[in-house]
């Protein structure tokens, strides 16, 4: 039995029958009752704690499916394995309705972490600080856009002269943000790889960067990274919780945050996309 199997026994209380390494950080393990789980390793205790707390918080909304957490410590997280299938129109509409219900479950404030979740969390491999605020435009600028813009400038990914366009957008956010909305319960890292179309015909979300935020940010990220059957997802969402007028014109504003995160992590092409959406939003 490997070290990962030992971890599963310790965290779940179940014996291990089989295991299969998926990557350096992920292992698929079959338990003695034939349930299959994923064992995930992280070298940062904050990341493991944030993911476990985020999954439990999202599950508490009883809406969108997320993997059950079977145990975790400072290094390891054990969750259900999701058997993947193919996207369908019916699943997309149901996902949209469930996503609207998740957002409607709410959060104490913009930036609020999940209960028992750390303030210093992660979005993917990038640090993400969950400082709370009551005014979305100010909070979004101060805690989601500008920190990553500064890091991108420090790295040379965004040139110092280019940063001004993003800074101008932040100054104008109160007029660009649309009608005020209450804090929504966000998955927070909803790119297509974290949206699993399960074999049973439902959608399951994995790897959250959960926090309180604006619901349009989750939806904008789905569009940014190419969610299958997105228009049907939006149909289901609008049936359950119609978006405020002008939401389509605000997509770029909400995409600015994930684009700058990706610029920090992956380089210049994402910086160019961030600058382009900022210029487009300012021109409206």
Q: Which residues are catalytic?
A: 189
Give the H or E element holding residue 41. Answer: strand 36-41
The sign of the dihedral angle between the CA atoms of 173, 186, 41, 23 is negative
Nearest to 36 by CA among 79, 93, 76: 79
Residue 256 pairs in a beta bridge with none
Nearest to 189 by CA among 257, 133, 275, 139: 257
Phi, psi of 25 (to 5 degrees): -110, -10
DSSP of 111-125:
TPPPTT--SEEEETT
201 conformational bin, left if phi > 0, alpha if psi -120 to 50, beta if neither: left
State how far the alpha carbon of 28 is from the alpha carbons of 5, 36, 54, 82, 121, in Å. Answer: 10, 7, 21, 11, 25
Collect all residues with Cβ–Cβ distance below 8 Å to 176 and sequence separation of at least 6. Answer: 137, 169, 250, 253, 281, 284
State how far the alpha carbon of 25 is from the alpha carbons of 4, 35, 43, 189, in Å. Answer: 10, 20, 10, 19
């Amino acid at each position: 039995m490997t070290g990962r199997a030992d971890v599963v026994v310790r965290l779940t209380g179940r014996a291990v029958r089989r295991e299969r390494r998926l990557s350096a950080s992920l292992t698929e393990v079959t338990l003695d009752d034939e349930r299959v789980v994923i064992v995930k390793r992280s070298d940062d205790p904050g990341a493991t704690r944030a993911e476990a707390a985020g999954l439990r918080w999202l599950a508490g909304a009883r809406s969108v499916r997320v993997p059950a957490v079977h145990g975790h410590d400072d290094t390891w997280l054990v969750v259900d394995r999701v058997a993947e299938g193919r996207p369908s129109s019916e699943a997309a509409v149901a996902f949209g309705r469930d996503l609207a219900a998740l957002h409607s479950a709410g959060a104490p404030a913009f930036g609020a972490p999940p209960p028992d979740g750390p303030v210093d969390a992660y979005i993917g491999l990038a640090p993400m600080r969950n400082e709370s605020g009551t005014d979305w435009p100010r909070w979004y600028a101060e805690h989601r856009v500008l920190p990553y813009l500064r890091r991108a400038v420090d790295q040379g990914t965004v040139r110092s002269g280019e940063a001004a366009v993003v800074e101008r957008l932040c100054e104008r956010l109160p007029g660009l943000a649309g009608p005020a909305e209450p804090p929504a319960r966000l998955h927070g890292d909803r790119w297509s790889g974290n949206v699993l179309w399960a074999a049973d015909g439902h959608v399951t979300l994995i790897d959250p960067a959960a926090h309180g935020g604006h619901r349009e940010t989750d939806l904008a990220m789905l569009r940014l990274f190419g969610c299958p059957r997105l228009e049907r997802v939006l149909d289901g969402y609008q049936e359950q919780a119609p978006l405020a007028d002008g939401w389509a014109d605000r997509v770029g504003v909400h995409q600015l945050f994930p684009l700058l995160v990706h610029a920090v992590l992956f380089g210049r092409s994402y910086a160019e996309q961030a600058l382009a959406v900022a210029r487009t939003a300012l021109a409206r």
